[in-house]
Chains A and B, each alone.
Chain A
């Protein structure tokens, strides 16, 4: 098949290139931060709780995403320097493996966030029976099932990425999970609000309430960060599948590297909004750093 050269308009959308230094810095920061969380949870026996295991799962999936980007950059640099051939079966298989790692990271992030939301939901609504419902063993089993499913799906998606049948479920999964997580948190919110009202209405209580913005801000940050970091990439996949030759779509796809950097930024921000809010984890970090001096 012959690709004839069209005369391109001078207002062509060229690829927006992110400097490699920025890529590597953001990726390295993401990997280090999440690695610290894993080490802290492993070392501190007080943190061997289901909630922290789910946060670890999120840290692992963030780490995989950043690792993928770093490895891809390294391999492309090696290609440019000539150490690796550009064509060939080995490179193609390596490429497929790395693509499946990336999709594994995305699916792992989504399911980890879902697990964290579900864990908090059970904590609040089934408070008295939480320790019976969410035992450590069950949490580990849930995590094993989640990661097995994500690994299987990512390999399947990477192998059959050219079929619409894989792209569509992948892109539907994303908003579905977001809506579900949002519903869980909103329900928790409503309960917290009704509870606060009850406390205010106690005859002996002198506590009065005012509008509390902090919860709304927290929840908006949770979901807004995830949405802003992953949705551009998901849209890119959709457009690449369905309208690659449309000029508008092509212009959107030209900012692909910015979208990739956003995903790595998500790996840096997630620990701050999930893991570092726990005082026990913060004190573990302080002990780790002060003891090493």
Chain B
């Protein structure tokens, strides 16, 4: 890349005119470099850099794996473990599981209903606790949003939602990152 040629050109040869500028692959402007008397291998920076990068990425992976450990595995029947797997991947993944889309939708419908009941309980509980403080801010959020009719994946959930007056931002079929919020509604909303 020629920008880098310019970097070395101008640092070492300020007096040169434009006519010496050329556009080429070769980096002869760096000047002849003497390779005599090298203590380490000549590609040591390359090797060291890539090894360091690989170690860092693997270290990051292990740290993240430790963070996602949620407890001892339980042995249940295979159907429940199938549901479990889809639920886990839905929670911790930032995208939809690729292969389980169709199967997932039916399972999600059942599971999200139970979750919505849970989060509705949470919301009601929170309402009772701090009615005077949280009331106004919650009311401002409890407006309905239109449910797009294009995909029927979460129709049961949406029906459940509309009954319970929770802000319906479930455009989940379009916005995969918002999909996890079905499950994350149960967190007490962080009111600033």
Contacts and interface: CB of A to CB of B under 8 A. Distances in A.
Interface of A: 1, 3, 5-6, 8-9, 11-13, 15, 17, 46-47, 49, 51, 72, 75-76, 79, 84, 86-89, 91-92, 95, 99, 102-103, 119-120, 123-132, 158, 161-162, 167, 182, 186, 188-193, 195-200, 202, 204-220, 223-224, 227-228, 231-232, 235-237, 239-241, 244-257, 260, 277-280
Interface string B1-40: 1111011111111011011111111110011111110101
Contact of A240 (B7, B16, B22): B7
A280 B177 CA distance: 12
Interface residues on B, range: 35 or more
Contacts, number: 298
Given A13-B42, A124-B181, A251-B43, A212 B92 contact: yes
Interface of B: 1-4, 6-13, 15-16, 18-27, 30-36, 38, 40, 42-46, 49, 53, 56-57, 60-61, 64-65, 67-71, 73-74, 76, 80, 83-84, 87-89, 91-98, 101, 111, 114-115, 118, 141, 145, 148, 150, 167, 169, 171, 173-178, 180-181, 183-187, 189-190
Contacts of B91: 192, 195-196, 199, 212, 215
Nearest to B9: A162
B175 A89 contact: no
Residue picked from A9, A15, A216, most chain B C-beta under 10 Å: A216
Contacts of A236: 4
9 contacts: A47-B174, A125-B190, A186-B67, A190-B67, A195-B184, A210-B73, A214-B97, A245-B30, A279-B96
Instruction: Tell me what chain A mostly uses at the interface: helix, strand, loop, or mixed.
Output: helix
Contact of B60 (A88, A202, A207, A224): A224
B183 A120 contact: no
A212 B64 CA distance: 10
A26 B20 CA distance: 32
